[in-house]
């Protein structure tokens, strides 16, 4: 804890690159079609369904089913909890990523 502000943490669920890719894709949309997510992350229908179930169980994504004409469609959306988790995850990643420059900075300053 720093000044009462909670330290951002890496989300264990988002450590999986595929789940992170799904959440990042959904972060820039309001609702995305299942087929768009599947083609973007190059997963099979069943593999994507499994990942979405995991994300849905933790409340990170919402899944809705409907019809366009007679064809069944599935839409996916990142929930508020999901957006919050991704923001915290990104903040922590940025924190870790900046550490790579710190030794070099110190070397520059001493030299």
Partner 1 sequence: MTTPEEAQRALLDIEERKQQSTTAARSSRWWWIGGGLFLIAFGVAGELAPDFMDDWGSVFVWALLFLAIARSSRWGSRFFGRQVRPRLAGSPAHRLGLGVIGAVVALLLVLVAMWLDVPHLALAFSIVGGLLLMLAGPWWEGRMLARGSRT
CA distance 108 to 96: 20
CA distance 73 to 51: 18
Question: Counting contacts by CB under 8 A, is residue 65 touching partner 1?
Answer: no
CA distance 61 to 54: 9
* Contact pattern for partner 1 over residues 27 through 46, marking x by CB under 8 A: xxxxxxx-xx---x------
Q: Are strands 61-68 and 71-78 parallel, antiparallel or unpaired?
A: antiparallel
CA distance 101 to 111: 15
- From candidates 73, 80, 81, 106, binder to partner 1 by CB under 8 A: 73
CB of 69 to partner 1, least distance (A): 8
CB of 30 to partner 1, least distance (A): 4
Query: Considering beta carbons, is residue 40 or 56 the nearer one to partner 1?
Result: 40
CA distance 59 to 92: 21
Residue 9 tokens, joined: 């943490």
Question: Counting contacts by CB under 8 A, is residue 97 touching partner 1?
Answer: yes
Residue numbers of the site for partner 1 (CB under 8 A)?
Answer: 10, 15, 17, 20-21, 24-33, 35-36, 40, 64, 66, 68, 73, 75, 86, 90, 93-94, 96-100
């Amino acid at each position: 804890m720093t000044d009462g502000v909670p330290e951002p943490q890496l989300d264990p669920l988002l450590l999986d690159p595929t789940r992170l890719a799904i959440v990042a894709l959904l972060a820039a949309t309001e609702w995305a079609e299942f087929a768009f997510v599947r083609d973007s992350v190059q997963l099979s229908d069943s593999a994507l369904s499994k990942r979405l179930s995991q994300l849905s169980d933790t409340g990170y994504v919402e899944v809705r089913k409907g019809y366009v004409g007679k064809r069944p469609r599935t839409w996916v959306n990142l929930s508020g909890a999901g957006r919050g988790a991704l923001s915290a995850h990104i903040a922590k990643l940025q924190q870790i990523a900046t550490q790579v420059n710190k030794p070099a900075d110190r070397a520059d300053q001493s030299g």
